[in-house]
Amino acid sequence: MKIFTLKSDLKKFLSVVKKDQKRIGFVPTMGALHQGHISLVEKAISENDITVVSIFVNPTQFDNQEDLEKYPNTLQQDIELLESVNCDVLFAPSVTEIYDENVVAEKFDFDGLEYEMEGKFRDGHFDGVGTIVKSLFEIITPDVAYFGKKDFQQLQIIKKMVEKLGLPIKIKGMPIFREEDGLAMSSRNARLTKEYREAGPFIHKILKKARKKIHSKDVEEIIAWVEKQFKKHPLLELEYFIIADEKTLQSATKFESGKTYRAFIAVFAGEIRLIDNVRFKNN
């Protein structure tokens, strides 16, 4: 695997790849790679001639300094994992290489998608995500880029950005990878204490139970039921549970037949914030 830390070196390498009319697949990450990331990398490898993975913990998308400072860094292990699946290229730049001395996010208009859920609870988060993904797209110029559906709102926002900027990049959303006990895979899981790690699967369990209620309960009743389950839980603290239209991400007030909804959740397991989502289909 070729490893680049400088934009100029990576661009030079990719210009030859492009001249040969090879397809570039791209998987952006913040490292601390797990099986969910690897599934994206394997998909990219199977569909493209060259697969580029980036590892960059992007400061402008963190609204919480402590979360940024404690974000897990397992670079050596990540490199070994990427080599084991025959990834072609790793781009692991420094903060200065990406931002120079100006570590600020650009302001984006994602047609309102940015004001829901994560946007409400994490100030400026999606401007930060938009800034880094746009910049990585400019450097790498991929044909296809792969994103996990665990960050479903991020996926929709990136699709919107590509559409609005008219970029010739296909965005693919890939299924959520779960631990055997149902906890959605996340780099932040590595920071959970044993007690919180054991409590984690409760989140997906509740989402699955909530989904079963779609035919017998209305939106408000399901939300109230979920909130009650978390109030009773001794460790996990619910930040939000929302049922939203899958396309617009607007909160639903009632289920309309033929529409597809998704339930989105954010939960604090001590200091660690976990998110998850499941699809709700109303027919």
State the binding string over 141-180 for ligand PAF (x if CB under 6 A, else -).
Answer: ----------x--x--------------------------
Interface with ligand PAF, residue 133, by CB under 6 A: yes
Active site residue 37: yes
Interface with ligand PAF, residue 132, by CB under 6 A: yes
CB 253 → ligand PAF: shortest distance, Å? 30
Stretch of residues binding ligand PAF (CB under 6 A), selected from 26-34, 88-96, 205-213, 252-260: 26-34
Stretch of residues binding ligand PAF (CB under 6 A), selected from 5-13, 128-136, 215-223, 260-268: 128-136
Q: Which of 20-56 are b and which e, b meaning 16 or more Cβ less than 10 Å from the residue's Cβ?
A: eeeebbbbbbbbbbbebbbbbbbbbbeebebbbbbbb
State the binding string over 46-75 for ligand PAF (x if CB under 6 A, else -).
Answer: ------------x--x--------------
Rounded-to-integer distance, Cα 109 and Cα 269, Å: 32
Complex with ligand PAF: residue 29 or 39, whichever CB lies closer: 29
In whole angstroms, how far apart are CA 36 and each of 43, 108, 189, 194, 209? Answer: 11, 28, 12, 21, 24
Q: How far is CA 217 from the centre of its chain?
A: 30
- The region, left, alpha or beta by phi > 0 then psi within -120 to 50, assigned to residue 267 is beta
Residues that bind ligand PAF (CB under 6 A): 28-30, 58, 61, 129, 132-133, 151, 154
